[in-house]
C-alpha cells in the first residue's frame, strides 16, 4: 500500500500549503464538553434506544417510545427536538434523508426530503458582471432553497407512524417554549457568528443577550416563536407549512427581501420515496440512501475493502490506515458521478458492480488517481438513530447546510432558513463555503436537489439489523461512517469504543490526509514515512452508532460534538 513517489503527487503535496484556509473552514476546533454528562454519551437499553447530537432531543425520542410510539414516531420527535436544541445544524427550515427498517415486513425504505432549488433558480444566478460571486450562495436570501423537512417527516408519519403530529411535536414545543440550556458546541457556534446573528432580528432575539453578548454554555435560551409555529402546524403540517398561513408568511418574507421562493415552490414541493441501495460486506448486508446522498460512496469503499483481512492489521494501525487512505481517495473520485437522479443519469448499478469495485481496488493498490479529482461539501448537519422494542430501526440525517444556514430567519415564525444552494456547483471551478470547487453534474437547475454527503446506513446479518450509524460534518461524514462501521464489524468494538477511536479523512483533492490529534504520534510518524502528507486537526465531524441484539441495544453519541444516547 506504499504510495509511489510520482512527480505529480509531489506537486500536489506542495500545493497543500495553499489550502490552509480550506482546512480552517471545515475542520474548526471543537470545544470540550466538560459541562455535559459523560453518562449520557453512551447507554444500554432492552426495549429501545435513541442516539442524537442533542441529549434533550434523545430524551424527547425516548419519551415517545415510552408512550407507545414506534421508531418512526420517535425519530420524528427527535428530529423536531434537535431542530430546537441544535438550531445551528438543522431545523424545520432545512431537509434531510431517512432510512427506515420495518421488522414486521423485513423491508427497507429510503425517504428523500432534501431541499430543492427554487423554480426561478438557474445556473448563472450567482454571476455578477460576468463573474461568479460565491458569497451569494452562502449567506443571505439567495442562498435559501425550498425546505423539505416538514414534508418529509409528515410523509414518514403518515406511512409508518402511529401517532398524530402534535403528539409527536409536543416535546419539541415544550423545549422551545420553556427554554433549554445551551450546550458548549452551540455556544461556540453562536460566539463565532455573533455579528451576523445580531444583524437578523429573529436570530438576535433568541441567541443574543440584551447587552449584545452571545448566549453562553449552560445559559437558558427560549425559542417561543418557533414553539408557536410548531403548534400552528397542527396535525396536518404540510397543509399549513406549504399551503396555509405559514406558507403565506414565508412567501411574503421572501418577496420583501428579494428571495426566489414563491408560493408555487412550496405548493409543488414533494418528498420522494426511493429504493435503498445495498451491498454485501463480509457476510453483512449494508443498506444506504441512494443519490443524491453519498451512501453509494460508502458502499464502494466497503466493497474495495471486502477482500481484505482488516482485523489482522489492527485497529488504526499504520498498514490499516494506509489501506483506508487509498480506498477513501478512490471513493471520493467517484463521488463526482453522484447527483440528483432526476437530472443526471447516475449509473448506481455500475458504480456498485463487482467489476467496477475490482477496478477501484486495483487503482487503490497502485495509487492510480487523477490529480484533479473533485471534492465534496456540506456542513451544519445532525444525525440521529432510533430502534424500538419491535426491532424497527430509523437512521435520519438532517441539515440546514452551513452553521445557522443562510444566517437569516423569518422572525414572525422563529424559522431559521437554510443555505442549501451552496451545496450546488454555482459555477464550474468556483469553490463553495469550504473552498471546494463544484462539478457540472451538480449544477443548479430549477427543482433540483443538491448532492449531499449525508450517508445514514443500516447493517443486517441474517436479515436482522445489527447496527446503524450516520454522522455530521460535511465530507467527513463519509469517512467517519466508514470508519465507525469497520470498527464495529471488523474490530468488534462496542458502539462507544467505535465512535471514540481517532479518525482520518482523505478526499482525493487536496492530496493530504487529515488526522485527528488523538491519533498516536507513532502512527502519524509511520504514515509520514510512507510518503503521506498529514494535516492535524482537533476533530473530524461527529458520528453516532447504535448496535442491536435481541433485548440488548447499545448506543453512543459522539463526544466531538456532544449529544446523548438514551435507552430504556
CB neighbours of residue 130 within 10 Å: 6
Nearest to 81 by CA among 96, 62, 101: 62
Cell of 283: 457476510
- 61, 386 Cβ separation under 8 angstroms: yes
Task: Please report the beta strands in 4-69, taking only residues with DSSP state E, as ranges in sequence order.
Answer: 42-45, 49-52
- Radius of gyration for the chain, computed over Cα atoms and rounded to the nearest angstrom: 22
Which residues touch 397 (CB under 8 Å, ≥6 apart)?
Answer: 96, 97, 381, 382, 383, 384, 454, 455, 456, 470, 471, 472, 477
CB neighbours of residue 195 within 10 Å: 8
Based on the residue annotation, tell me whether 381 is a catalytic residue of this protein.
yes
Residues counted in the chain? 568
β-strands 457-461, 220-221 pairing: unpaired
Cell of 86: 441544535
Cell of 397: 440525517
Catalytic-role residue among 116, 381, 399, 455: 381
- 404, 87 Cβ separation under 8 angstroms: yes
Residue 56, classed as helix, strand or coil, is helix
Buried b or exposed e, range 262-282, using 16+ CB within 10 angstroms: bbebbeebbbbebebbbbebb
- 565, 557 Cβ separation under 8 angstroms: yes
Nearest to 157 by CA among 447, 394, 418, 460: 394
Nearest to 116 by CA among 143, 145, 155: 145
- 245, 263 Cβ separation under 8 angstroms: no
CB burial of residue 158 (10 Å; 0-12, 13-18, 19+)? exposed
Nearest to 418 by CA among 111, 138, 57: 138
Q: Which residues are catalytic?
A: 381
Amino acid at each position: 500500500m506504499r504510495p509511489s513517489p510520482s512527480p505529480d503527487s509531489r506537486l500536489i503535496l506542495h500545493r497543500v500549503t495553499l489550502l490552509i484556509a480550506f482546512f480552517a473552514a471545515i475542520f474548526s476546533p471543537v470545544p470540550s464538553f466538560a459541562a455535559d454528562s459523560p453518562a449520557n454519551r453512551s447507554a444500554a437499553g432492552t426495549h429501545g434506544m435513541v442516539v442524537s447530537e442533542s441529549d434533550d432531543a434523545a430524551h424527547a425520542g425516548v419519551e415517545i417510545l415510552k408512550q407507545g410510539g414506534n421508531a418512526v414516531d420517535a425519530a420524528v420527535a427527535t428530529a423536531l427536538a434537535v431542530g430546537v436544541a441544535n438550531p445551528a445544524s438543522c431545523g424545520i427550515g432545512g431537509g434531510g434523508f431517512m432510512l427506515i427498517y420495518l421488522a414486521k415486513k423485513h423491508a427497507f425504505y429510503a425517504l428523500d426530503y432534501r431541499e430543492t432549488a427554487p423554480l426561478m433558480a438557474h445556473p448563472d444566478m450567482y454571476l455578477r458582471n460576468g463573474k461568479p460571486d460565491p458569497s451569494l450562495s452562502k449567506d443571505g436570501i439567495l442562498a435559501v432553497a425550498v425546505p423539505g423537512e416538514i414534508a418529509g417527516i409528515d410523509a414518514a408519519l403518515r406511512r409508518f407512524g402511529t401517532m398524530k403530529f402534535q403528539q409527536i411535536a409536543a416535546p419539541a414545543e415544550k423545549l422551545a417554549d420553556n427554554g433549554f440550556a445551551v450546550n458548549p458546541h452551540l455556544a461556540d457556534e453562536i460566539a463565532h457568528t455573533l455579528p451576523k446573528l445580531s444583524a437578523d432580528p429573529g436570530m438576535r432575539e433568541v441567541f443574543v443577550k440584551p447587552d449584545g453578548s452571545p448566549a453562553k454554555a449552560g445559559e437558558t435560551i427560549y425559542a417561543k416563536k418557533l414553539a408557536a409555529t410548531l403548534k400552528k402546524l397542527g396535525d396536518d403540517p404540510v397543509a399549513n407549512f406549504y399551503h396555509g398561513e405559514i406558507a403565506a408568511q414565508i412567501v411574503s418574507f421572501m418577496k420583501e427581501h428579494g428571495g426566489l421562493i414563491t408560493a408555487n415552490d412550496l405548493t409543488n414541493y414533494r418528498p420522494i420515496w426511493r429504493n435503498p441501495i445495498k451491498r454485501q460486506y463480509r457476510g453483512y448486508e449494508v443498506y444506504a440512501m441512494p443519490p443524491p446522498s453519498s451512501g453509494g460512496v460508502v458502499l464502494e469503499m466497503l466493497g474495495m475493502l471486502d477482500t481484505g483481512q482488516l482485523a489482522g492489521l489492527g485497529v488504526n494501525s499504520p498498514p490499516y490506515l494506509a489501506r483506508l487512505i487509498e480506498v477513501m481517495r478512490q471513493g471520493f473520485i467517484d463521488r463526482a458521478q453522484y447527483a440528483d437522479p432526476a437530472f443526471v443519469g447516475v449509473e448506481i448499478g455500475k458504480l456498485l458492480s463487482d467489476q467496477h469495485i475490482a477496478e477501484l481496488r486495483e487503482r487503490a493498490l497502485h495509487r492510480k488517481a487523477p490529480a484533479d479529482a473533485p471534492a465534496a461539501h456540506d456542513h451544519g448537519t445532525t444525525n440521529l438513530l432510533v430502534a424500538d422494542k419491535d426491532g424497527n430501526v430509523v437512521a435520519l440525517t438532517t441539515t440546514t447546510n452551513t452553521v445557522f444556514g443562510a444566517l437569516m430567519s423569518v422572525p414572525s415564525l422563529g424559522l431559521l432558513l437554510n443555505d442549501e444552494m451552496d451545496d450546488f456547483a454555482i459555477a464550474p471551478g468556483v469553490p463553495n463555503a469550504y473552498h471546494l470547487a463544484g462539478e457540472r453534474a451538480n449544477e443548479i437547475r430549477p427543482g433540483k436537489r443538491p448532492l449531499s454527503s449525508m450517508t445514514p446506513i443500516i447493517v443486517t446479518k441474517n436479515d436482522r439489523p445489527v447496527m446503524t450509524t450516520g454522522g455530521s460534518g460535511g465530507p467527513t461524514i463519509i469517512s467517519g461512517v466508514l470508519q465507525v462501521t469497520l470498527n464495529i464489524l471488523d474490530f468488534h468494538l462496542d458502539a462507544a469504543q467505535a465512535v471514540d477511536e481517532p479518525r482520518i479523512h482523505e478526499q482525493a483533492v487536496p492530496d493530504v490526509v487529515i488526522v485527528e490529534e488523538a491519533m498516536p504520534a507513532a502512527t502519524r510518524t509511520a504514515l509520514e514515512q510512507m510518503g503521506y502528507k498529514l494535516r492535524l486537526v482537533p476533530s473530524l465531524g461527529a458520528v453516532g452508532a447504535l448496535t442491536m441484539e435481541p433485548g440488548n441495544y447499545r448506543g453512543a453519541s459522539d463526544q466531538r460534538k456532544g449529544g446523548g444516547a438514551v435507552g430504556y
